[in-house]
């Protein structure tokens, strides 16, 4: 039987020998939903890059205590950071799907961007989106939850990201290099810019190129925005792994 993995809130405590759970959310999930008892094994992580394997030793109304049996450094992160600048999609569920699957594929940061053709200018509640990121991280074996930034205009995003001097990539239907021919630079973040349902306009494509961006191709077919995001991340991650 597989052991459940959980992301700890700042309220919960873990150290080399023990853990204490006091957050209302985890207390409810463990006691009422999963009906954990003394002796239950769990895997915990807190964003430090380590994974803690432990066992519950006591349960009360105020806290759940346990002992840590082992600490392992996670090796599930990509060696080079992938940042996904995804235009906000008209259908909120599709944007949530990009967050979930992007997390599973190794994206480190998500930037919701607003372009000239972006129809929806806002996102659902941040708490809901954060929960999706946490659950996807728990499920896929990662130990670091991706960062979800606040929405910003595409022009502002390009100025913001310039300081990191990343490898800036924009999938385009006309021309472009194949992602599998790119020479990835270790520790230099790769930033994927994905437009909305109607795509980037010509001016935005030119702005990316002026910023040093590279036009890449995802094949001969025109992909939906959410499909393009995950196809590009998958191809890029394959280069990095």
pLDDT tens for the 241 residues of the chain, in order: 678 999 998 899 998 799 999 999 999 999 999 999 999 999 999 988 899 999 999 999 999 999 999 999 999 999 899 999 999 999 999 999 999 999 999 999 999 999 999 988 888 788 899 999 999 999 999 999 999 999 999 999 999 998 888 889 988 766 677 777 777 666 688 999 999 988 888 899 889 888 888 888 888 888 899 999 999 999 889 887 6
Per DSSP, the three-state class of 206 is helix
Determine the pLDDT at residue 1: 61
Q: Which residues contact 6 (CB under 8 A, 6 or more apart)?
A: 26, 29, 42, 43, 44, 45, 138
Q: Which residues pair with 53 in a beta bridge?
A: 43, 70
What's the CA gap between 32 and 28, in Å, rounded?
5
CB 86 within 8 A of CB 110: yes
CB 105 within 8 A of CB 237: yes
Q: How many residues does the chain have?
A: 241
CB 81 within 8 A of CB 95: no
What's the CA gap between 215 and 172, in Å, rounded?
6
Radius of gyration from C-alpha coordinates of the chain: 20
Residue 222: other Cβ atoms inside 10 A: 10
pTM: 0.90
Per DSSP, the three-state class of 147 is strand
Q: Which residues contact 44 (CB under 8 A, 6 or more apart)?
A: 5, 6, 7, 8, 14, 19, 51, 52, 53, 54
**Domains along the chain?**
5-73 (2.40.240.20), 82-240 (3.40.1280.10)
């Amino acid at each position: 039987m597989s052991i459940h993995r959980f992301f700890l809130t700042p309220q919960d405590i873990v150290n080399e020998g023990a853990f204490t759970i006091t957050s209302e959310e985890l207390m409810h999930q463990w006691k009422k939903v999963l009906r954990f008892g003394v002796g239950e094994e769990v895997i915990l992580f807190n964003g430090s890059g380590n994974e803690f394997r432990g066992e519950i030793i006591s349960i009360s109304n105020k806290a759940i205590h346990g002992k840590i049996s082992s600490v392992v450094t996670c090796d599930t992160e990509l060696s080079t950071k992938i940042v996904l600048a995804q235009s906000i999609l008209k259908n909120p569920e599709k944007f949530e799907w990009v967050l979930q699957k992007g997390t599973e594929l190794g994206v480190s940061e998500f930037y919701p961007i607003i372009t000239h053709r972006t129809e929806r200018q806002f996102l659902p509640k941040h708490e809901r989106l954060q929960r999706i990121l946490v659950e996807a991280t728990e499920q896929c074996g990662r130990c670091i939850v991706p960062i979800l930034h606040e929405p910003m205009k595409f022009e502002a995003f390009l100025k913001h990201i310039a300081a990191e001097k990343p490898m800036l990539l924009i999938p385009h239907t006309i021309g472009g290099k194949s992602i599998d021919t790119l020479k990835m630079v270790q520790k230099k973040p790769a930033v994927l810019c994905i437009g909305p349902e109607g795509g980037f306009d010509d001016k935005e494509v030119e702005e990316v190129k002026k910023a040093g961006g590279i036009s890449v191709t995802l094949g001969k077919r025109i992909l939906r925005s959410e499909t393009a995001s995950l196809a590009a991340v998958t191809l890029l991650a394959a280069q990095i792994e």
